[in-house]
Chains A and B, each alone.
Chain A
Amino acid sequence: MSRGTSQVRRSFEADVLVVGGGLAGCTAAIKARQTGASVILVDKGFAGKSGQTPFAGSYCVFNPEWGDDLDAWMEQVSSIGESVNDRVWTELCFRESYERYLELLSWGVRFGADGDARAGVEPQRDGPPVGPCKAAMMETRAPSMTLRRQVLKHGATIVDRTMIVELLTSGGQVVGAAGIPADAEDAVDIFTAKAVVLAAGAGGFRPGRWPIDNLTSDADCMAYRVGAEITGKEFADPHHARLDQAASVMFGRYGRDPEGGGPPRGRFLDSDGHPLPPMGVLDLDLDRAVHAGHGPLFIEMPDGVRWPMVGGAAGGMSVHKAEGIRPAGTDCSCNVAGLYAAGDSLGTMQSGATYAAIGQSVLGCSVTGAHAGAGAAAYAARAGGPAHPAGADVERAAEAITAPLRRSGGFGPRWVTQMLQNTVLPYYVLHIKHGDRLRAALANVEFFRDHLVPKLYATDQHELRLVHETRNMVLNAEMRLRASLFRTETRGCHYREDFPVRDDGQWLAWVILRRAGDGMELFKRPVSAEHRPLTAGGVQ
């Protein structure tokens, strides 16, 4: 550890830096180590227990020997995901799911209600009755420490409690990252690496109803700032939650049916006691019922108990694997050299415009973690000697990152976060969308971006983290609003009141966001011709 002008400064160096220690990040670290690369895994919290991994409960696993039909599974995803799933990634994940499943078993992750599934034996699998896809039930929470032990066993170094804030570049390629440790005041950590894997999850607006308040789109935002393409911001995740239990993940602790595993069961009722469609396009039908004046809503469990519900439990987050850094290939690279991503930080569009099959998200973390770790290690091996960031660039980054600590006044991050929540969390902004309301919210968010964010101050290192998280949430909001305005149709979890029809003629395409100077440019990337549905070509 060395001391800068006024700062505590730690410096680290490795072939591969992995940011984020959930399932994707841990897998990436292990896979990179298995190639012989030196690896540092850094986490804002505690690696292993990071992100949404402690709450994961289902793992989609495909195996022809169990009678699974690939064509039927692919059709389920394309049909429910409304044909904007990336079929390359959907198929890749299915095909590699069994191998990853066996590997997780070998690491000590347990599956099945009784947690004793044996390798090669079909575990208890389940799924909603919408198609053939099935998932093995995972033991919740326990995999966290299992994964951490495997990362350490494979020889990677773990740095806990450091939030990575910015990527460092040299000659247009990513050569490291800078972050802030929680446990030292006015401190900055500098990481030099030949390749960086971002596996820091997706993010929301601290919705408080889903345990994702720690996820603030840090990966998307820092990648965006160095020029990476970002996708999928228009496909909002409209999950609901119980009104009486914050962060209850819908139905009690960690989302499990209290009667022994499997997805939660129950039916939704409106304020008059009339049943609502079961799930529909995820939960958008609930928002529609409320919009029509039929709130409040309830969930009635099989035993007749009714719980009041609230919407927007995951406010600010997209459907898993929809949003994130747009991959340039199956090695999980992107359009910025040296930068890789995995898990919810990577917008593979594995599922498309909504959740198409239970357990796809955890599967995607496992598969992209493996690909990103191997891809980043291969890049590092080709790179030769480390390309260190210029000393002046490091100093500039450190100064900018810690500047809020030296601001004597301005705006507190908790207050700005609250103003952002008030602007973008209501259902009528990012769930039931309309151009007028999106533009109104965007005008406010632009004010936050231009006037409030530059004046955020922090009184200690904890608040410094809040400052950077708030800054990222404001950028995430701008991305979501612009992407939602850009896609002038309705598809999956993107519902426009003013464009209520799916338009395959115009929108069998992904929306890409990219930084252009100080502005944000948007463009379409069409779904490849061979992956278009047979019914494509006009308005459906």
Chain B
Amino acid sequence: MLYQIAFFIRELRINLSRNPLMSVAAASTATISLLTLGISLMMVYTINNLSAEITSQVEIRAFLENDVTNYEIKNLQEKIFEMPQIRSIEYVSPDRALDKLQEDLNIELDISPEENPLPHALVIRVTDPRQIGIVADQVREMQGVTELKYGKSILQGILKLSLVVKFLGYLVTMLMSAGALFTIMNTIRLTVIARQEEIRTMQLVGATGWFIRWPFLMEGVFLGTAGGLVAALVLAVSYYLLGARIQNSLPFIIPLVKASVMAQMLVILLLLAGCIMGIAGSYISITRFLVERAKEY
């Protein structure tokens, strides 16, 4: 068994070194296909990140009665926190709310604490923005809560949009994956066709289907993985260089994913995709070829 593995590895080395042009052509095609797949993955990842960023900022503001005591506020906080959907809860006193207002509007208001019209408030954040309606309905019914705001219609719009964009992103990624698989498969098929006489001879001297397949499968994995690695490196470096520029010039528009996180995601996914597509491409090509040969008579 070990001897056969060593033989297949030797065969792989021989095939790659003695057909260098074919190997470079196949790896280049895999790289280009995986580059397009990588770009769509980057887009989906950025959109998901953006959507998560926006929805994570969605919050419920529960306004409390004016004469509410600290004890009642604490009790209310505890009661709300018992709900499983709650991520965080923060109390904003009228004084703090006034300070924030002055800070946001950049003005000085001459209002004493007694005249402060702003109410006591609790700022509630949920783990899943889709659950915000349920939380809001329950909080609204609690004693001491007078009013509740959470931008219901805007949130629903964002959630719908994010769902559509995500769906489109996954669809594009799937199409890109299918395209990459098809391209890689056909490239490997060309290498199989170029060596059909060799395969035929292997069959005639008594090689089993799997004995013929293994070196081709290993070649597929090698070429696919090499293509994936090159594509991931090109995209990661480009993202690092371009992303930093975009982030510096337009920091408030898109919260970009960290370059290291993106590079990690690209290397893992594209290596995996290259490996799987390489092995699937060569398996389908060589099996189809062997079956076609068997049917000839």
Chain B associates with chain A: no
Which residues of B are at the interface with A, using a C-beta cutoff of 8 A?
Answer: none
Which residues of A are at the interface with B, using a C-beta cutoff of 8 A?
Answer: none
